[in-house]
Structure formats: structure tokens, C-alpha cells
Amino acid sequence: MSRVKSPKQISALVGDLYQVLGLEEAYQQYKTLQIWNTAVGGAIAEATVLERFTGGQLFIRVKNPAWRMELNFRKKEIIAKLNAAIDNVLVQEIIFR
């Protein structure tokens, strides 16, 4: 007698796969990059470009010095929003360049 399983969605399989392969931190970093625009809002998202996220440090390119100064003042708030959105304390520092 053959065993019939119901099909699973690809997203469910990928979610299980990253945990099995030990890539959970990389997946969390990816999620952080994906929610940047939502977490910071449209105006900041338009003034910034994500560069990379390694070792708890998020590197952001800023379009002009005025925005860089503003974002440095709001850095703690942005870090808190990102970490709350991913439900993990993954972002430790943001470096605006």
C-alpha cells in the first residue's frame, strides 16, 4: 500500500530547510534587509541604499550628509524597530556612510 502525502508549499519547505542546514542567522539577516523599507518608512527608504549586513552590523549608504546626520540621531530607534520586526536582537549597530 502506498503512502500518500499532501503537497507542501515551497515557502514551508524553505523555512524548514534553512534550519536544517544551520542557516538560521543568514535567514534572519535576509529578513532584516527585506523589511528595511517597511520599518523605516518611505522617506528614509528613498534616501538610503542597503549595502550589507554582517556580524550584527548593518551598512547603509545615505544619499547626502543631511540625511546621514538625521539617521545617526535616530539610530537607536531604527535598531529597535528592526529588531522588533524580526522578533530577534540581531541588529547591533547601523553604520551610515
Q: What is the DSSP letter of 37?
A: H
| Angstrom distance (rounded) from CA 28 to CA 91 | 10
More confident residue, 24 or 56: 56
User: Does residue 6 register a pLDDT over 70?
Assistant: yes
- Nearest Cα neighbor of 78 from 46, 25, 32 is 32
Q: What is the pLDDT of residues 36-69, one digit of tens each?
A: 888 888 899 999 998 888 888 999 999 999 999 9
Domains identified in the chain and CATH numbers:
24-96 (3.30.300.180)
Q: What is the pLDDT of residues 70-96, one digit of tens each?
A: 999 999 999 999 999 888 888 999 999
